[in-house]
């Protein structure tokens, strides 16, 4: 975080100082919500949680070097002394307020002579947010100091924490912005209005929280476009009618990407190598360049086009964008992470999250990876937060499994049973589709069933827990 006094933190959050002496107290370290991650001089945010209350760890945070605590009540250390704190009514809201204030200060400094020229990029969409964010972060980092979220820090807590990592040297701030209901993106863009707003896809993720079905999702995603900073640019998917229609809401320029012939940035001549990695020609109004992705799956072409368009919008050169895409790796865990085991089994761990769109993309990538000479094995769990159409959505995935001729499908958990039902209705027979009651049953079955040459996809929503099975299959220790 940029250096701020305790009084400035209090002013930004509408809080009051407690346990702070007369001498100015300077906060110049990182802002964290986990006391184990405290750095000397930093700020510890005592968030109340469903199972753990951060206030209980404030004393430990100060002992580790935290200069100040953002808290909802007065706190004392082990010796009974008052902990230096800023007291607020709502710690989570105060965290957002602090991030908003810090970013405003950075933007003001960035415009001064010798300033960083900070540009903020926001990315949203039902599918591909994290991969696109990771690609963009790598493109930008090759040009200047870049801050981007770790993992999927894309909500009302993760986004402010990411913003607060930026400092006076930061040139690019890449933010993933998630929404599970209306108003969520409005809140996030109020904290960090993007100079470039990227909308990927309006799909069936989190349908249960939006109301109004997929059109409700579209309205919520459009909040990112409406929250653009003055003079900002909307980067929209030309292949998704609901996203393309958001151009009417953009307060400034609009640039499009996709397969549509009138898209401003598009891919020509897409082909896949034997490992399922895409090659294509990147076509823009600045010229054309070849790109060879390292990411597995044809669906990543779309993510790459979005990243390329946003990169060009913040001033990267076409050469830098094309070379950067070809050099970029998958950064976030459990997202099409491909591991070739010593026993000849290939594991594709895509278990961080799932919705019908991403499930279809992963299954198609599995079919390409396995080809004609290897057995494809799909280990599929429940897709959560789909609303009333959840059964039909799972049934459709089961039918797709059969159409793609997946060799073996292991359906894990009662919530995913409709996948098996759909496969059976589509014509699956015998032992091609197996229902495992839980993770342990699935693991035991796979231990006995897998053989050298198999290509195994693990895919589900995070809450279904198949990431634990993914860890086990690639040989990592399963987290408790």
178 phi, psi to nearest 5 deg: -100, 160
In the prediction, which pLDDT does 152 show?
A: 72
pLDDT for 206: 53
pLDDT at 414 over 50: yes
Q: How do 253-257 and 376-380 pair as beta strands?
A: unpaired
For strands 277-284 and 266-272, give the pairing.
antiparallel
pLDDT at 477 over 50: no
Q: What is the pLDDT of residue 475?
A: 82
Residue 207: which pLDDT band, with cuts at 50, 70 and 90? low
Rounded-to-integer distance, Cα 206 and Cα 211, Å: 10
DSSP annotation of 83 reads P
Helices (H), 87-157: 91-110, 129-141
- Report the DSSP pairing between strands 287-296 and 277-284: antiparallel
pLDDT at 316 over 50: yes
pLDDT range class, residue 212, cuts 50, 70, 90: low
Helix, strand, or coil (residue 376): strand
Question: Could you give the percent of the chain with pLDDT greater than 90?
Answer: 83
Backbone angles phi, psi at 278, to 5 degrees: -90, 145
Pairing mode of beta strands 85-87, 16-18: antiparallel
DSSP string, 193-207: --SEEEE----STTH
Range from 30-34, 79-83, 85-89, 179-183 carrying the lowest mean pLDDT: 179-183
Question: For residue 180, what pLDDT is reported?
Answer: 80
Tell me what the mean pLDDT of segment 409-425 comes to: 95
CA dihedral defined by 283, 197, 304, 163, rounded to 10 degrees?
Answer: 140
When computed from its CA atoms, the radius of gyration of the chain, rounded to whole angstroms, is 24
Integer CA distances (angstroms), 98 to 5, 298, 399, in order: 12, 40, 49
The structure tokens 């409709």 sit at: 418
**Token pair listed for 85:** 């704190």
The structure tokens listed for 433 are: 């589709």
Q: Is the pLDDT of residue 208 over 70?
A: no
* Residue 444 structure tokens: 């035991």
Residue identified by tokens 């997946």 is 406
In tens, the pLDDT along 82-138 reads 999 999 999 999 999 999 999 999 999 999 999 999 999 999 998 899 999 999 999
> What pLDDT sits at residue 204?
67
**Residue 237, strand partner residues:** 257
pLDDT tens for 239-264 read: 999 999 999 999 999 999 999 999 99
Spell out the alpha helix ranges (H) of 334-458.
Answer: 356-370, 390-403, 417-426, 439-449
Q: What is the pLDDT of residue 387?
A: 82
**pLDDT class for 480, splitting at 50, 70, 90?**
very low
Complete domains list, the chain, with CATH: 4-89 (3.40.1390.10), 94-327 (3.40.1190.10), 337-473 (3.90.190.20)
The contacts found for 181-184 with CB under 8 angstroms, 24 or more apart, are 181/206, 181/209, 181/210, 181/220, 182/210, 182/211, 182/216, 182/219, 182/220, 182/223, 183/220, 183/223, 184/155, 184/156, 184/220, 184/223
At residue 205, the pLDDT reads 56
Q: Apex CA 96: angle with CA 92 and CA 98, to 5°?
A: 110
CA angle 213, 362, 437 (to 5 degrees): 80
For residue 124, which phi and psi values (nearest 5 degrees)?
-140, 170
CA proximity to 392, closest of 425, 366, 364:
425
Cβ-proximal residues to 56 (8 Å cutoff; 6+ apart), any chain = none
What lies within 8 Å, CB to CB, of 324 at 6+ separation is 138, 139, 142, 311, 316
Say what the pLDDT of residue 209 is: 58
Mean residue pLDDT across the chain: 93
d(CA 1, CA 305): 32
Q: Is 66's pLDDT higher than 80?
A: yes
450 pLDDT exceeds 50?
yes
Q: Quick one: average pLDDT of 193-219?
A: 81
Contact 422, 399 (CB under 8 A): yes
Say yes or no to pLDDT of 227 above 50: yes
- Residue predicted with more confidence, 421 or 427: 421
Quickly state the pLDDT bin for 479 (edges 50, 70, 90).
Answer: very low
Residue 478, pLDDT above cutoff 60: no
pLDDT tens digits for 251-303?
A: 999 999 999 999 999 999 999 998 889 999 999 999 999 999 999 999 999 99
51 pLDDT higher than 90: no
Q: What is the pLDDT of residues 346-376, one digit of tens each?
A: 999 999 888 898 899 999 999 999 999 999 9
| Closest alpha carbon to 3 in 38, 32, 34, 42 | 42
Which pLDDT does position 200 carry in this prediction?
Answer: 97
């Amino acid at each position: 975080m940029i250096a701020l006094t305790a009084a400035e933190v209090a002013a930004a959050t509408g809080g009051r100082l407690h346990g702070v002496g007369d001498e100015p107290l300077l906060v110049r370290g990182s802002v964290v919500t986990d006391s184990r991650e405290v750095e000397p001089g930093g700020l510890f945010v005592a968030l109340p949680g469903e199972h753990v209350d951060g206030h209980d760890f404030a004393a430990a945070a100060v002992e580790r070097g935290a200069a100040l605590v953002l808290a909802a009540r007065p706190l004392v250390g082990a010796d009974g002394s008052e902990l230096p704190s800023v007291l607020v009514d709502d710690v989570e809201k105060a965290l957002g307020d602090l991030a908003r204030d810090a970013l405003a200060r950075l933007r003001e400094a960035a415009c001064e002579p010798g300033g960083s020229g900070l540009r903020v990029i926001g990315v949203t969409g039902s599918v591909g947010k994290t991969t696109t964010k990771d690609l963009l972060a790598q493109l930008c980092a090759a040009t200047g100091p870049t801050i981007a979220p770790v993992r999927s820090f894309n909500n009302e807590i993760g986004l402010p924490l990411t913003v607060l990592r930026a400092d006076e040297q930061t040139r690019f701030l890449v933010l993933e912005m998630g929404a599970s209901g209306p108003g969520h993106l409005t809140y996030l863009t109020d904290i960090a209005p993007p100079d470039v707003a990227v909308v990927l896809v309006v799909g069936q993720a989190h349908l249960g929280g939006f109301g109004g079905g997929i059109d409700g999702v579209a309205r919520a995603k459009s909040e990112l476009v409406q929250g653009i900073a003055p003079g900002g640019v909307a980067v929209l998917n030309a292949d998704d009618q609901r996203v393309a229609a958001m151009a009417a809401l953009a307060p400034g320029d609009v640039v499009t990407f996709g397969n549509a012939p009138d898209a401003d940035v598009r891919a020509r001549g897409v082909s896949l190598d034997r490992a399922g990695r895409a090659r294509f020609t990147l076509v823009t109004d600045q010229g054309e360049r070849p790109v060879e992705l390292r990411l597995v799956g044809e669906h990543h072409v779309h993510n790459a086009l979005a990243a390329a368009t946003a990169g060009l919008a913040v001033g990267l050169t076409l050469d830098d964008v094309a070379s950067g895409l070809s050099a970029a790796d998958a950064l976030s865990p459990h997202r099409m992470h491909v591991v070739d085991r010593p026993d000849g089994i290939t594991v594709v761990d895509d278990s961080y999250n799932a919705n019908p769109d991403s499930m279809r993309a992963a299954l198609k990538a599995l079919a390409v990876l396995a080809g004609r000479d290897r057995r494809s094995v799909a280990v599929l769990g429940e897709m959560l937060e789909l609303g009333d159409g959840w059964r039909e959505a799972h049934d459709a995935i089961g039918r797709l499994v059969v159409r793609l001729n997946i060799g073996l499908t292991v359906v894990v958990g009662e919530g995913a049973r409709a996948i098996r039902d759909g496969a059976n209705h589509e014509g699956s027979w015998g032992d091609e589709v197996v229902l495992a009651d839980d993770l342990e049953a699935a693991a035991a079955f796979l231990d006995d069933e897998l053989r050298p040459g198999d290509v195994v996809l693990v895919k589900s929503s995070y809450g279904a827990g198949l990431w634990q099975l993914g860890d086990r299959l690639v040989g990592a220790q399963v987290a408790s």
